[in-house]
């Protein structure tokens, strides 16, 4: 998320109501919480649709008030949340605590963790600089990953495999939090998946015994490496997830290329045909919403 206020030509706001509204927003974004304004003006300020996103403010120091609300949300989630949410959030916060101790030297402050849809339909999760209510740092996990209704999840596989997959998703999002709040290096031009992100992935991956990954943009000497945008589950052995993770996009790639060629077990073209049959069978079982999710992924693979 870039500082989109800079994208608006200043000349278009030199005078009049737009200029005033621009000034008010700018002041609000820079931390002025008390404005002596009529109610009607405040409603206009907070409800007028914005053509551009809010600016990306990524301070390395988390204010004490933000730490307090984040801790309070964690405490509520683990103690008083509705039962299903409590069960999921206990696992998510446990995963966050474990990874923070193991790979981040306990440097990070617990974020707001929510079981809700991320900002794009295809995302499994996301890490935002700001929460929906204005505190710094939130991590959102798509509910269908947890319920087993997502097309990349096999609901019949052991629950332990799904827990491992969700734990990997959390680790990925924590690197984004680390970039934002510790390194102060969000790598906006790479959509968060640049050299610093890939470097942290490879640092952790070396401990976990995972293959190296590259930045999201495939270029240079590392262009043939897997992308860090899908780390770590794209470099995990599939059996690590006990059959819970179903990488449908990889299957479509095999379908497009006629299989993997001569594999070690002699699968060849027959393996490719098996993959197509397997994919179609599982696709037919998906809900209409999840079919659209898969369709969007397929379009990326085949270049449409």
Per-residue pLDDT of the chain (304 residues; tens, 9 = 90+): 433 333 333 334 444 554 554 454 444 444 433 444 444 433 333 343 444 444 444 445 788 999 999 999 999 999 999 999 999 999 999 999 999 999 999 999 999 999 999 988 889 999 988 888 888 899 999 999 999 999 999 999 999 999 999 999 999 999 999 999 998 888 888 888 999 999 999 999 999 999 999 998 888 888 889 999 999 989 998 789 999 998 865 444 443 443 333 223 323 223 333 344 445 555 665 666 666 666 666 655 445 4
**Treating both helix axes as pointing N-terminal to C-terminal, what angle do 83-103 and 159-178 enclose, rounded to 10 degrees?**
60
Flag whether 129 is in a domain.
yes
Q: Are both 125 and 8 inside the same structural domain?
A: no
In the chain, the number of structural domains is 3
Give the separation between CA 58 and CA 43, rounded to whole angstroms.
27
Flag whether 230 is in a domain.
no
Q: What is the pLDDT of residue 105?
A: 93
Q: What is the pLDDT of residue 288?
A: 66
Q: CB neighbours of 8 closer than 8 A, spacing ≥ 6?
A: 22, 51, 52
Q: What is the pLDDT of residue 62?
A: 86
Q: Are both 12 and 81 inside the same structural domain?
A: no
Q: Are both 207 and 71 inside the same structural domain?
A: yes
Q: Are both 71 and 216 inside the same structural domain?
A: yes
Which residues, in sequence order, are bridge partners of residue 115?
A: 141
Q: Are both 215 and 122 inside the same structural domain?
A: yes
Q: Are both 89 and 217 inside the same structural domain?
A: yes
Q: What is the pLDDT of residue 16?
A: 53
Q: Are both 126 and 211 inside the same structural domain?
A: yes
Q: Which domain holds residue 13?
A: 4-47
Q: What is the pLDDT of residue 191?
A: 85
Q: What is the pLDDT of residue 291?
A: 66
Flag whether 96 is in a domain.
yes
Give the separation between CA 185 and CA 166, rounded to whole angstroms.
25
Flag whether 163 is in a domain.
yes
């Amino acid at each position: 998320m870039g500082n989109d206020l800079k994208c608006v030509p200043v000349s278009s706001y030199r005078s009049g109501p737009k200029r005033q509204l621009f000034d008010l927003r700018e002041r609000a974004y820079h931390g002025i919480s008390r404005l002596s304004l009529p109610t009607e003006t405040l409603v206009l300020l907070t409800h007028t649709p914005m053509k551009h996103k809010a600016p990306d403010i990524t301070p390395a120091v988390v204010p004490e008030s933000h730490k307090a609300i984040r801790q309070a949300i964690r405490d509520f989630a683990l103690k008083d949340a509705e039962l299903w949410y409590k069960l999921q959030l206990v696992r998510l916060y446990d995963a966050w605590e474990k990874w923070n101790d193991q790979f981040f030297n306990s440097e990070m402050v617990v974020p707001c963790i929510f079981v809700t849809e991320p900002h794009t339909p295809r995302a499994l999760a996301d890490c935002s600089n700001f929460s929906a209510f204005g505190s710094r740092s939130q991590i959102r996990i798509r509910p269908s990953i947890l319920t087993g209704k997502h097309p990349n999840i096999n609901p019949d596989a052991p629950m332990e495999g799904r827990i491992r997959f969700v734990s990997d998703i959390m680790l990925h999002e924590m690197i984004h939090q680390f970039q934002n709040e510790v390194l102060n290096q969000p790598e906006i031009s790479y959509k968060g998946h640049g050299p610093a992100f890939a470097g942290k992935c490879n640092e952790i991956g070396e401990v976990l015994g995972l293959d190296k990954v590259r930045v999201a943009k495939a270029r240079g000497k590392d262009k043939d490496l897997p992308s860090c945008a899908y780390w770590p589950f794209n470099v995990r052995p599939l059996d690590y997830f006990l059959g819970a993770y179903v990488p449908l996009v990889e299957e479509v790639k095999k379908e497009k290329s006629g299989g993997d060629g001569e594999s070690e077990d002699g699968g060849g073209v027959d393996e490719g045909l098996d993959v197509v049959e397997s994919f179609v069978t599982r696709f037919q079982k998906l809900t209409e919403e999840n079919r659209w999710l898969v369709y969007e992924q397929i379009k990326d693979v085949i270049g449409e």
